[in-house]
């Protein structure tokens, strides 16, 4: 089955540690996205990538980093510089074409203790 | 700049009643509009989308939405609510230039009671 996988589903880390969230898709989509979701605030864009080896900052990129070495993979690293990292993180992908919707993964809930 | 406003962070309806979730958008270019649904601790699932074809769009699970340019609205409706419709709903507008970003509303949580 084609889709987007995110792992792990739940992640706990100590304050000050970097952590990497995985996002893999087998839909052959060109574009991939990372969002952060907090209660009552909808989704906010962290980073996005249209093609391999290229990515752009979104609205709240500070304290995060990404890489896009393969079309299928777009990992997100939450660094110790992120002031309030506890949140629900969603990965999405989209085929080429402005009319196409984004397809979302199941999300990773990160809790920093 | 594009933006989306969802009126009402919480909506409660009785089972069998009409569901109406409101969405207004602002866009300097002809918009593409989307409604997504999210169940607890899950990702978002597309309900329906408007991409400049028919103004009345039918989606999954009996939902539909009407694009009204004069009112800059894209409200989501369902004639008869079911308990399984309880979820959070997000309206989004597509920035149809550059990297095709989606701008999301803050979401509306729908509760359905017996």
Residues of B in Cβ contact (< 8 Å) with A99: 32, 49, 51, 94, 96
- Cis bond leading into B99, ω under 30°? no
Mutation for A interface: B101, B103, B105, most A CBs within 10 A: B101
Dump pLDDT digits (tens) for B13-39. 999 999 999 999 998 777 889 999 999
Dump pLDDT digits (tens) for A78-107. 998 888 999 999 999 998 766 778 999 999
Q: CA dihedral defined by A3, B88, B59, B95, rounded to 10 degrees?
A: -70
Q: How confident is the model at residue B64 (pLDDT cuts 50, 70, 90)?
A: very high
Measured between CA atoms, how close is B97 to chain A, in angstroms? 7
- Report the percentage of chain A scoring pLDDT > 90: 80
Question: Is B83 strand, coil or helix?
Answer: helix
Dump pLDDT digits (tens) for B69-84. 999 999 999 999 999 9
Biggest CA-to-CA distance, chain A: 41
- Report the percentage of chain A scoring pLDDT > 70: 96
Residue A11: exposure state from Cβ atoms within 10 A (0-12, 13-18, ≥19): middle
Task: Kindly state the average pLDDT of the residues B41-62.
Answer: 92
pLDDT at A48 over 60: yes
3-state secondary structure labels for all residues of A33-79 = EEEEECCCCCEEEEEEECCCCCCEECCCCCCEEECCCECCECCEEEC
3-state secondary structure labels for all residues of B45-67 = EEEEEECCCCCEEECHHHCEEEE
What residues in chain A have their Cβ under 8 A from chain B's Cβ atoms? 4, 6, 31, 33, 40-43, 45, 48, 50, 56, 58, 88, 90, 92, 94, 98-107, 109
pLDDT at B112 over 80: yes
Q: Which residue from A minimizes the CA distance to B105?
A: A42
Task: Kindly state the average pLDDT of the residues B51-79.
Answer: 93
Contact: A40, B107; criterion CB under 8 Å: yes
Tell me, what's the pLDDT at B76? 98
pLDDT at B46 over 70: yes
pLDDT at A27 over 90: yes
Q: Which residue from B minimizes the CA distance to A40?
A: B106
Question: Is A99 strand, coil or helix?
Answer: coil
Contact: B99, A94; criterion CB under 8 Å: no
- Report the percentage of chain B scoring pLDDT > 70: 96
Is A44 within 8 Å of A59 (Cβ atoms)?
Answer: yes
Q: What is the DSSP letter of B17?
A: S
* A-contacting residues in B 62-101 (Cβ below 8 Å): 90, 94, 96-97, 99-101
Is B94 within 8 Å of B33 (Cβ atoms)?
Answer: yes
Q: How confident is the model at residue A40 (pLDDT cuts 50, 70, 90)?
A: confident
Task: Kindly state the average pLDDT of the residues A105-110.
Answer: 95
Tell me, what's the pLDDT at A98? 60
Tell me, what's the pLDDT at B35? 97
Q: How far apart (Å, rounded) are the C-alpha atoms in residues A98 and A105? A: 20
Measured between CA atoms, how close is B10 to chain A, in angstroms? 10
Question: Is B90 strand, coil or helix?
Answer: strand
Tell me, what's the pLDDT at B97? 59
Beta bridge mates, B14: B113
């Amino acid at each position: 089955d084609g889709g987007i996988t995110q792992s792990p589903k739940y992640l706990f880390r100590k304050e000050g540690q970097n952590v990497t969230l995985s996002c893999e898709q087998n839909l052959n989509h060109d574009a991939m996205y990372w969002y952060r979701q907090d209660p009552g605030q909808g989704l906010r864009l962290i980073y996005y990538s249209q093609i391999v080896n290229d990515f752009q900052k979104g609205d709240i990129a500070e304290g995060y980093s990404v890489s896009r070495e393969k079309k299928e993979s777009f990992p997100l690293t939450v660094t110790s510089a992120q002031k309030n990292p506890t949140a629900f993180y969603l990965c999405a992908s989209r085929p080429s074409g402005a009319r196409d919707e984004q397809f979302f993964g199941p999300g990773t809930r990160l809790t920093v203790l | 700049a594009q933006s989306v406003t969802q009126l009402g962070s919480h909506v409660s309806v009785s089972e069998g009643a009409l569901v109406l979730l409101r969405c207004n958008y602002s866009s300097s270019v002809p918009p593409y509009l989307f409604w997504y649904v999210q169940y607890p601790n899950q990702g978002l699932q597309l309900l329906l989308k408007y991409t400049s074809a028919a103004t009345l769009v039918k989606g999954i699970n009996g939902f539909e939405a009407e694009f009204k340019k004069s009112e800059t609205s894209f409200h989501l409706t369902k004639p008869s609510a079911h308990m399984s419709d309880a979820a959070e709903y997000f309206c989004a507008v597509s920035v149809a230039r550059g990297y095709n970003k989606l701008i999301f509303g803050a979401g509306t949580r729908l509760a359905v009671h017996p």
